[in-house]
Amino acid sequence: MLNRIYWSSILCFRFSVLNWVYCKRFVFRSFNKFNVVSSCLFIMLTVIYGYVYLYEAIPPVIIEENKIIDLKDSNESCYLYDGTWVLDENYPLYNASQCPFAENSFNCLANGRRDDGYLKWRWKPNNCDVSRFNVGVVLEKLRGKRVVFVGDSLSRTQWESMICMLMDGVNDKASVYEMNGNKISKKIRYLGVRFSSYNFTVEFYRSVFLVQIGSVPRHAPKRVKSTIRLDELDNTSSKWIDSDILVFNTGHWWNRAKLFEMGCYFKVNGKLKLGMSTMAAYTTALKTWASWVENMVDTERTRVFFRTFEGSHWSGQNGHTCKVTENPLVQSKSEYSEYRSQFSDIIKEVVNNMSVPVTTMYVTPMGSYRSDAHVGTWSDNPTVPDCSHWCLPGVPDAWNEILFSYL
């Protein structure tokens, strides 16, 4: 009996020990699993927290390509510069005779033009609409800003157009004035109009080549009367920098006959380039401009635009005939735009290769239809026909509507 009790006790003890061992193993296994799971969760939380912290501390880098912008409308691609002109009885946007900043030579109605149908056309992209001009909204958008146009007389026309469009929404017309008391002149180098009620300015710098006009080197041929320094930007360029919107153009003065007949030749690195073609010189000048923008303009603050070459409608064997039609052309004529688009192609290529964001306003095709919108003989000098400049109101208003749509 005692022996049986003894062995039973031994067996119970062994069973208890085994149970304790198995229990211990189970606890440790569970504990190890818990350690592994908790460690993984800790690592994941650390990674997520670190990512969120870094994302908040360092903003994401956005790379903006330099190309003509395609805006989206519904599910279709909207290319702003591929479209047609449509009749719209809500146009024109202003009366040039009531705008003191519209140049007399561009006010075709005041200079005797009798048909006014050319004032009623609106640019319509194929798959969307350009944002309709709302003067109240735009005035508020420009509050406290500085808008600067740089270029030739076509740039001055766009500058005049913008001021007249904006003045239509200002109740106190006397609050809009030229800052130096200047009257608009074709040769004045600077004009600045202040909208004092909204604390912004719209300025124009005359720089027909964007690069500097230089002196004639010693021992230059007698035919050389002046030079264009293709590698030096205009000496007023330092005044363009501190702006919010900066719009450039150049092209109409890059004309072989206009330049070489006046004895104007190109210069690079202080050396004359007598055999340099106009297109090669234009490309060199544009690259000088591009380098200046990349190094001098804060494109995080300043929105930079370059408007391409505008269509003109000179005709005849010598290109001196100006026939202004009553309506726009149904189809753009290649002979009017082919030569002009070479300049525009250079602009697009140079801008596309820039390291900072610049918007190309490719207005060349839309202007090629508007043989009806040129000044013709309805200027302040009717003896000299004009198939390069545009009547105001007119085509430059469409450029500004597109410009405002980007804003």
Cβ-contact 192, 204 below 8 angstroms? yes
Assigned token pair, 337: 């735009």
Reference 236, options 265, 201, 209, 207; nearest CA is 207
Give me the residues paired with residue 321 across strands.
Answer: 315
Q: Are strands 303-307 and 245-248 parallel, antiparallel or unpaired?
A: parallel
Q: How many residues belong to the chain?
A: 407
Q: Which residue has the tokens 């076509």?
A: 154
Q: Which residue has the tokens 């969307």?
A: 128
Cβ-contact 389, 152 below 8 angstroms? no
Assigned token pair, 44: 């994941």
One DSSP character per residue, 338-360 reads HHHHHHHHHHHHHHHT-SS--EE
Tell me the backbone φ, ψ of residue 248, rounded to 5 degrees. -110, 155
What residues contact residue 280 under an 8 Å CB cut-off, 6+ apart?
Answer: none
389 noted as active-site residue: yes
Catalytic hit among 153, 161, 243, 368: 153
User: How far apart are the C-alpha atoms of 6 and 20, rounded to whole Å?
Assistant: 21
Cβ-based neighbour number of residue 388 at 10 Å: 17
Assigned token pair, 234: 């205009």
Assigned token pair, 133: 């001009």
User: How far apart are the C-alpha atoms of 369 and 328, rounded to whole Å?
Assistant: 5
User: How far apart are the C-alpha atoms of 390 and 370, rounded to whole Å?
Assistant: 9
Residue 362 backbone class (left: φ over 0; alpha: ψ -120 to 50; beta: rest): beta
- Tell me the H-state helices in 58-130: none
Q: Which residue has the tokens 């290109």?
A: 319
User: How far apart are the C-alpha atoms of 109 and 101, rounded to whole Å?
Assistant: 16
Cβ-contact 91, 121 below 8 angstroms? yes
Catalytic hit among 152, 234, 372, 386: 386
Catalytic hit among 252, 313, 374, 389: 389
Catalytic residue IDs: 153, 386, 389
